[in-house]
Structure 1
């Protein structure tokens, strides 16, 4: 039975982290004392749900969390420092602090260490998220004890709604580009100047071709800009859309 620890202090643990070529000890006091911190814990680096959904959305919403009083967002997993650092680089999650709970001490102290022998994982953390203020757990969102890897309540949006249900979410922006395209560079500059973060999908990578572009966008030129699922068009269309203040 996985029980909430709301109202209790986080376990006192020293994490062995790796910065460059050096081992650096980081304690729970270093992470939480005098600070408001969101932690999301997950079964493993590079695993499907963790890489495709859980981590990216926290990274995407990190500026909104910080605008609502959160000092840091921590991703915690029962993996070693080398794996966590490699995952952080792979995900380009510059807004998240990755903490390796290599021996599972923190997960065990939280009562969230579970056995995943059937997957060849051994002992891992159950998936959950929590808000910690000055070392005291204010709120926990623990995934239900169901078979597989449930992902229903520990997501970034649920946590943000708890902190501020009226928080303004950033618009979701996707940009189709190709290497060497000056209009694509202009579109990216326009988005950056307007304060929009965007996902860039570049032709020529991962098998993406003009056929892909045409099938998805109905257009054969780059860039193609989408905001909140709405096709804006090319760089000139984007400039006009931004001028209108849409």
Structure 2
């Protein structure tokens, strides 16, 4: 059994003295793990960093085996965020959430494409926090728990949508939401593709996606949001981007 694909390094776990088990998000094979021999060598260490884009070949005798990876560097973008604490926190949060939420060996090409877009934006702190929130929303959607932000669940109106029902994940317009605002989740305009991003919007977006990721994706399998995501929120607050 073997295949070859493009991918993004998500996690690296030491295995033995010189090897590592590496998890990679690929376009056609999804989140996939494999053993890399010589992973701690000087030539491989810079390649096996979370966020790096690689070409990977996998081979195993049987499909259910862990198998071996042969990995070649495509774009070593991880080095570009190492000195930016907030961007590094964003990268680590996305990698940790992908490992935790995505089923192994199940293709999610839209999540992979969104991750590539996020990686390309980390150099611009005016852009990437909103892209990160959108990536989490896309992850929810691709896992079958997408938010319905097209129209008000009560009136069918498409304007002035301000909140989301925590029960249904559907949007609610401001007038209908007003009596129940304390029980609803706020919807920032940028998540519907309208309006400028103002102070507080990223926090609202993270609260919204985090709520549904916890309750729809993670809690049913006895998991919680990764600590890396908590550190991301702290870093965004530090730089004034929440």
Q: Same fold (TM over 0.5)?
A: no
More helix by share: 2
- Higher strand content, 1 or 2: 1
TM-score relative to the length of structure 2: 0.26
**Normalised by the size of structure 1, how large is the TM-score?**
0.26
Bigger RCO of structures 1 and 2 (CA < 8 A, at least 6 apart): 1
